[in-house]
Structure 1
């Protein structure tokens, strides 16, 4: 299907808007809420957030395989999405509303509910993302579909980033501990039902293709050796993971950087500038991808992001205007760094189908999800642990060592990671023409013909 109806684009993209609550609120606001308001030690928060990503390294591929092999009259992906959304909403309510208790109990509360939250998130996101590559097999249409999905993700992230300020303005919550608890109560009360409703809309509107019954679940676990033999996927995975590690450091540290390095209380404004710029520029990157190719457009986006962000290292107290300009400049490439790798990933899944004869989106999305979550874990773990080790003190004037640590981790390390990712992705071999060869080879193999590997010069 080369064209997508508006209904399909909207229905598939809507859950990404609601699931964005797991982005800014959980990665950015919740750690600071638990350290500065609830009183949990910052190193313990960082350790628990890192540990939950190790946990994900087990659950993500398992859920991916199960969603590939599950059989029901509702499909293989949609039951996980719907049930997982209800469980995710429940965990969200508990995590955002900790009891007023001793520090050890509050630490246990955070640990239990952050683990459950991410497990239920896996139940939703792995089958949801696995659904995308099945919707269309057209090279450029996929870019459009994932641009829509990730555009909704950015829009949802923007709203999530603004939600504390909006709730504070509407409900007059104060900066004290009681006010912050009220603020997070209302955020959870809004987002928990929203996640369920938007996932239900997607489940109702998006159909599924015929389930793959050609291999057992046990075979699927053994088949991971063929997944790791997929050279284009491994190049993509390595480049994406390294870049994502760098990109997650600013997400974790922005509140600390803006407050203690820039000396500003306008972190929400800067986040909004970044996300609005990303959304507005995303259609431009879709067009560039059609002209240049997905790989080339992705490299260009990373270069734009890196070139702008290096300058952030040299800022200091009072440089709000300069910081705002650099945030907007780096935001130009933000949307592309989300949508284009997802569209490329769908193409490498097609290459796997040529070799295996099966559609194994769940297995690939499971590994992809590990990469996303582990990169976020490394960002959170390194960022918060480094602050704790250099003497970070909540709500106090920080030492020069802490401020230098913030500047290095927030600006320089992400830039180096992006450059390393670019050095890897230049070897990615699937262009639009090559993808067309892959789809033709799949059809020829289905017809019983012997076909050479589409990535080799021998392919006709």
Structure 2
């Protein structure tokens, strides 16, 4: 997740203001390389489902994907002495390497919680640890990264290069820790039962809770991606705090995500996950709306409180989304008796990548429409460009989050439903054993 947030927070601004690439062209590079990335998800999911090794089905992918992601981090932020089409081609290749490594790691990683436990509430507790470490990765990407670039290394392309080297080490260390730390984790084995392609697709589409969840995440991840990408633009052009001011946004937000986890976990143990998810989403919409009052004269404590509140509700949304995914995968197993954790994780990631693919395209169009000028390294923009920053940072995310609410309200998979399915599946297995 460190590499994911690093790319989400840093790359668009790095490309427009330091590599001198127009918002439209920078967005096009990310869009088309993510388009490639979207179609690698189901391939990795199927391959990881079918992998057989002494390390299990998933762990070899964690190791390989982590190593590739570490190398890609150096490539993305190398800032080579290239221009024009040569620079565009280099960045496209760098992003393809990054997206391949991230996918190879992330799909098996998302698959593993569904294999580790079948307990409805234990999944929430398990995913609370994951969400906590997500918050740490966010602090690193939104706090440490800009500090290294703009303060410690003095800014410019050199700052980005050194930051890329340091973060490549962090990414590799995290991947190795994940690989070794899951050595004793519960795993499932592939079942011999297979379906023909048509029946296979129908059975996935028939998983109504999963289809609802990925549509919810499509809207929310789009909104979240826009927020992350626009964070530095908001800090520079609205708050007028300079490029280093993004730290004041990122650190309180991700600190709040980590600190909020016990609260959201407690709520999920006493309420249905869907209800908790709705509360967190509505709270985040209302918090984003308060950014319309942001001015350069705003007291720093108010800015920090607002971003902390933003992070608090973000923590609930991340935790509930991650906790509900294993529930929908178990729902599939009880309906089909197939072990397809990898393919469901890949489809979930497919939606994540699709939304991420739309983010730079949408932002590029908004900024270009507002007349945002590239290559100014944070210098003053026109009023229409500032208005475009307002729209992209505030109203575009609100639209995305609001669109997810109707789907959340009709989501129906709960603890009782899963318990009944588990009981029916067990009885079916006993009958087969007796016959």
Relative to the length of structure 1, the TM-score reads: 0.87
SS of corresponding position for 1:436: helix
Q: Distance in 2 between matches of 1:215 and 1:249?
A: 40
CA pair 179-142 structure 1, distance change in 2 beyond 3 A: closer
> Is contact 1:98–1:109 with CA below 8 Å preserved after alignment?
no
- Bigger drift between 437-446 and 394-403 goes to 394-403
SS of corresponding position for 2:118: coil
Q: Distance in 2 between matches of 1:143 and 1:229?
A: 25
Matches within 5 A, 1:117-196: 117-167=98-148, 172-188=152-168, 190-196=169-175
Query: Is residue 293 from structure 1 mapped to residue 276 from structure 2 by the alignment?
Result: no
Name the structure 2 match of 1:382.
Answer: 362
In the TM superposition, residue 361 of structure 1 has moved relative to its aligned partner by 0.9
In the TM superposition, residue 22 of structure 1 has moved relative to its aligned partner by 2.2
In the TM superposition, residue 169 of structure 1 has moved relative to its aligned partner by 8.8
Name the structure 2 match of 1:331.
Answer: 311
CA pair 296-267 structure 1, distance change in 2 beyond 3 A: same
Name the structure 1 match of 2:410.
Answer: 427
Deviations 1:323-348 (A, max 9, x none): 33321222211111111112111111
**RMSD value over aligned CA atoms?**
2.1
- Bigger drift between 160-169 and 324-333 goes to 160-169
Matches within 5 A, 1:167-316: 167=148, 172-188=152-168, 190-215=169-194, 219=196, 223-265=200-242, 266-316=245-295
In the TM superposition, residue 46 of structure 1 has moved relative to its aligned partner by 0.7
CA pair 223-413 structure 1, distance change in 2 beyond 3 A: same
Deviations 1:231-279 (A, max 9, x none): 1111111112112211211111110111111211211121101111111
SS of corresponding position for 1:223: helix
Deviations 1:161-189 (A, max 9, x none): 2223553599x41123434433433333x
Q: Structure 1: which 4+ aligned runs deviate by more than 6 Å?
A: none
Unmatched 5+ residue regions in structure 1? 1-18, 450-460
In the TM superposition, residue 191 of structure 1 has moved relative to its aligned partner by 2.4
> Is contact 1:167–1:186 with CA below 8 Å preserved after alignment?
no
Q: Distance in 1 between matches of 2:121 and 2:219?
A: 25
> Is contact 1:154–1:279 with CA below 8 Å preserved after alignment?
yes
Q: Distance in 2 between matches of 1:447 and 1:39?
A: 66
Q: Distance in 1 between matches of 2:82 and 2:225?
A: 31
Indicate which of 322, 329, 345 corresponds to 1:342.
322
Indicate which of 14, 22, 41 corresponds to 2:4.
22
Relative to the length of structure 2, the TM-score reads: 0.92
SS of corresponding position for 2:427: helix
Name the structure 2 match of 1:3.
Answer: none
In the TM superposition, residue 320 of structure 1 has moved relative to its aligned partner by 5.2
SS of corresponding position for 2:238: helix
Name the structure 1 match of 2:84.
Answer: 103
Name the structure 1 match of 2:430.
Answer: 447
Name the structure 1 match of 2:338.
Answer: 358
CA pair 168-354 structure 1, distance change in 2 beyond 3 A: closer
Indicate which of 297, 316, 319 corresponds to 2:298.
319
Q: Distance in 1 between matches of 2:336 and 2:372?
A: 51
Name the structure 1 match of 2:382.
Answer: 399
CA pair 88-383 structure 1, distance change in 2 beyond 3 A: same
Q: Distance in 1 between matches of 2:287 and 2:258?
A: 17
Deviations 1:302-323 (A, max 9, x none): 1111111111123333335443
Unmatched 5+ residue regions in structure 2? none
Q: Distance in 2 between matches of 1:379 and 1:91?
A: 21
In the TM superposition, residue 99 of structure 1 has moved relative to its aligned partner by 2.0
- Bigger drift between 49-58 and 250-259 goes to 49-58
In the TM superposition, residue 356 of structure 1 has moved relative to its aligned partner by 1.0
Name the structure 2 match of 1:9.
Answer: none
> Is contact 1:143–1:340 with CA below 8 Å preserved after alignment?
yes
In the TM superposition, residue 40 of structure 1 has moved relative to its aligned partner by 2.8
Q: Distance in 1 between matches of 2:97 and 2:199?
A: 28
> Is contact 2:334–2:421 with CA below 8 Å preserved after alignment?
yes
> Is contact 1:262–1:315 with CA below 8 Å preserved after alignment?
yes
